[in-house]
Structure 1
Amino acid sequence: MPLNAVPQAAKERAGNLAERIYLQLKDDIFEFRLLPGDRFSEGEIAERMAVSRTPVRQALYRLQREGYLQVYFRSGWQVKPFDFEHFAELYEVRIVLELEAVRRLCARTQDEHPAALEQLKRTWLVQPEQRLQDGREVSQLDERSHCLLVEATGNREMARLHAEVSEKIRIIRRLDFTQSPRVAATYAEHGKIIEAILARRSEEAQLLLKTHIEVSKAQVHTITLHMLHNARQRSMPTPAVKP
């Protein structure tokens, strides 16, 4: 056995552990188990996940680099409070990318329509009894569908940037879908957008899409602490850490 085999294996295990902690904490944020402003220590996370502090620290600093957490060297970590102006800017970027995607898709010939559009058609153009009703599931489906729309253009950089933006506004989407009327409205809105794209009615499709996204964007300005705590109560019953 090579002399460095064991240390290398140990590094891989540590890296996998840090990745698992990172994904769990990010999910805690998106699912409201950790709310903006919540504070916690490395020790609390390590104890909850039954791991050492080293992979916890690696995961936390990664989340800090991505803008989800901020660190106070004397008092631990905090979920970054909402920056409403930043969310609004992210939505503007999303709108630009998706409108351009629709324009490109509508400009293609019939034979050039990507399979992704057929997949979106099968997802959203369904009978009411076939629709999903769980807000969390529909939220995930909504995000994936919009990403698929941009991916269908074939521009990998557009798709990568759009995916990054989509992840950063995921919590707004999740809040939006805690309101049951949004589920039915989302099916109806997506259906109209897809039909317009398939018919190559570019201006109509872009207008429908922009209106659809603006509804979610408007949610940014209505967020309150009470709304976030209600969302937490509707999610997993046990909080990740103490607020």
Structure 2
Amino acid sequence: MQLLRSDSRTKERPENLAERIYGQLKDDIFEFRLLPGDRFSEGEIAARMDVSRTPVRQALYRLEREGYLEVYFRSGWQVRPFDFQYFEELYELRIVLEIEAVKRLCERPADQPAPLLDELKVIWCVAAGEYLSDGREVSQLDERFHCQLVEAAGNREMARIHADVSEKIRIIRRLDFTKVPRVELTYQEHARILGAILSRRYEEAQLLLRAHIEISKAEVRKITLHMLHLARERATPEKGDSHVS
């Protein structure tokens, strides 16, 4: 497996070091430099990053809590294998939360201020010439769009659970923005969803939102499978080399 190396010879606060290692490893997982099923040890990561094992262990346990890694006390760490059923269930939960949020937003009095929705209009209800082209940036804005819809509904516990679900599916959801047509469609679909909510057309908003999420889910599954295939093909020459390089 080909991972980015890190130079940590300069003095750095332990908490900052653990945060940086966490970010680097998470990026390696997201970019398929660490593949589902890959195994490694704390010592291998510490050697690659030129750090002690303590901040590495902190970063690894954080990734384990978030569901990206599994720990085996006799054989080290493993990138969690892809479980599409798990992601399907998370998407289903996300749909339930967002549909309920849309219902609550549509039931509000038309004259009640909605600053979070106003913010979303500024970003998404724009002319095609104003669409952003950076897929990573659009991915972050897309996640924020859906989280903000739930936040705007006013139930903090719903928003917390939804944010947790969004974090768990981010590893595959962001792949939806690697193709220009999907970026353009996201702008158009978000604008229509907002228009239906602001006009209190609940059934239309519900249908638009559900279709938007279902299409995205199908697309990211297809892209994920393709990218995993390509990543494994690149890693084939290194098969048998079980060490982090």
State how 1:27-176 maps to structure 2 within 5 Å. 27-176=27-176
Q: Is the 8 A contact 1:88 1:220 kept in 2?
A: no
Q: Kindly provide the CA deviation profile for residues 25-66 of structure 1, in whole angstroms up to 9, marking residues without a partner as x.
A: 223323433332232221222123221001111221222122
Give the percent of matched residue pairs that are identical in Structure 1 and Structure 2.
74
Matched residues, number: 225
CA contact (8 A) 2:18 2:56 kept: yes
Q: Which secondary structure does the structure 2 equivalent of 1:184 belong to?
A: helix
Q: Distance in 1 between matches of 2:82 and 2:23?
A: 20
* In 2: Cα distance, 1:110 partner to 1:186 partner: 26
Distance in 1 (alpha carbons) for counterparts of 2:49 and 2:187: 38
Find the aligned partners of 1:140 and 1:175 in 2 and give their Cα distance: 11
TM-score normalised by L of structure 1: 0.84
* CA gap 1:109/1:229 in 2 versus in 1, 3 angstroms: same
Q: After superposition, what is the alpha-carbon deviation per residue over 1:114-155, rounded to whole angstroms, capped at 9, x for unaligned? A: 101111111111111111112111111100111111111121
Compared CA separation, residues 180 and 149, structure 1 to 2 (3 A): same
- Aligned AA (1:178): T
Structure 2: 5+ residue stretches without partners: 1-12, 233-242
Q: What CA distance in whole angstroms lies between the structure 1 residues aligned with 2:26 and 2:152?
A: 27
Aligned-residue offset at 1:206: 0.8
Looking at structure 1, the residues matched to 178 and 211 of structure 2 have their Cα atoms a distance apart, in angstroms, of 20
Deviations 1:172-196 (A, max 9, x none): 2122222221101101100100111
Name the TM-score, length of structure 2 as normaliser.
0.83
| Structure 1: gaps spanning 5 or more residues | 1-12, 233-240
Deviation at 1:71, TM superposition (A): 2.1
If asked which structure has higher relative contact order (CA below 8 Å, sep 6+), I would say 1
| Coordinate RMSD, CA, aligned | 2.4
> CA 1:224/1:28 → structure 2, altered by over 3 Å: closer, same or farther?
closer
Residues 1:20 and 1:221: Cα distance change in structure 2 (over 3 Å): closer
Q: What residue identity is the alignment partner of 1:173?
A: R
Separation in 1, partners of 2:115, 2:31 = 31
Alignment of 1:177-192 (within 5 A): 177-192=177-192
**C-alpha displacement of 1:93:** 0.4
1:178–1:231 contact (8 Å) kept in structure 2: no
